[in-house]
């Protein structure tokens, strides 16, 4: 049976068994769900594919963090199964965003750049707080690792949304918004592959060194 670890445990991957880590996860669940609501409304008001994609990312992250909380302390097989499901769901989200973006390319109407920039900045601040809170716990098993990857990629995605807003304003076209939506979809897929591979490795009784 695997040794249960708190904040540190030699060569054993951190399993999230820390009261501080659990409190941090509750905070980031709240932050991500709140931003999902904000960006969903803003995405429709601004008619921005990038904002809608980022809102979906916030919802996926809130679910990821909540799932991580539920399986903390469970056997490795259970934790790796949940991580595997999270990885596959991120891949499904990436495919959905790609499909929606391709559809959007054939729909007229430009997004509203100022709303994109303002909400993008708010989202960046929210994710920066999450990243700083989770930085100490960026290495660990597939569940812990999935939390870090999602937060890190979100901050990158938020910067991309702000750049998209500036690009739409500068060019007067929809293309910067479309390009950023593709980038966000790529981030989803990248995280999906990383989480899925680590989860499969753990289910096979192997350990992957975190990058």
Q: What is the pLDDT of residue 30?
A: 92
What pLDDT does residue 102 have?
76
List C-alpha distances in Å: 56 to 4, 96, 188.
Answer: 33, 10, 10
Which residues are CB-neighbours of 103 under 8 A, at least 6 positions away? none
* Domains observed in the chain: 19-203 (1.20.1510)
Calpha distance 143→141 (Å, rounded) = 6
What is the C-alpha separation between 148 and 14, in angstroms, rounded? Answer: 13
- Tokens for 50, please give them: 């990038």
Digitized pLDDT (tens) for each residue of the chain, 211 residues in all: 334 444 444 444 566 667 888 888 899 899 989 989 998 898 888 877 777 877 887 887 888 788 888 877 777 778 778 778 878 887 887 888 788 777 766 665 566 777 777 887 888 888 888 888 888 777 766 677 777 777 777 777 778 777 887 888 888 887 887 888 888 788 788 878 888 887 888 777 654 444 4
Three-state SS at 6: coil
pLDDT in tens, 17-64: 678 888 888 998 999 899 899 988 988 888 777 778 778 878 878 887
Q: What is the pLDDT of residue 109?
A: 59
Comparing CA positions, the residue from 175, 182, 136 lying closest to residue 18 is 136
Cα 162 to Cα 142: distance, rounded to the nearest angstrom? 30
pTM (global) more than 0.75: no
């Amino acid at each position: 049976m695997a040794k249960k670890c708190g904040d540190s445990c030699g060569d054993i991957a951190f399993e999230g068994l820390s009261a501080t880590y659990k409190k941090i996860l509750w905070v980031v669940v709240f932050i991500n769900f709140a931003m999902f609501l904000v960006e969903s409304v803003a995405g429709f008001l601004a008619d921005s594919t990038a904002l809608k994609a980022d809102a979906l990312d916030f919802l996926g992250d809130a679910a990821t963090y909540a799932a991580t909380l539920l399986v903390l302390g469970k056997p490795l097989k259970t934790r790796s199964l949940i991580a595997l499901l999270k990885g596959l769901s991120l891949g499904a989200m990436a495919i959905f965003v790609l499909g929606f973006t391709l559809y959007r390319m054939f729909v007229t109407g430009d997004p509203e750049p100022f709303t994109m920039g303002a909400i993008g900045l708010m989202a960046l601040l929210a994710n920066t707080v999450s990243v700083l809170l989770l930085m100490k716990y960026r290495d660990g098993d597939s569940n812990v690792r999935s939390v870090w990857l999602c937060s890190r990629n979100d901050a990158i995605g938020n910067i991309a949304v702000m750049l998209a807003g500036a690009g739409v304003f500068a060019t007067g076209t929809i293309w910067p918004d479309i390009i950023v939506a593709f980038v966000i979809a790529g981030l989803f897929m990248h995280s999906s592959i990383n989480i899925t591979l680590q989860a499969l490795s753990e289910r096979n009784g192997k350990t992957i060194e975190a990058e």
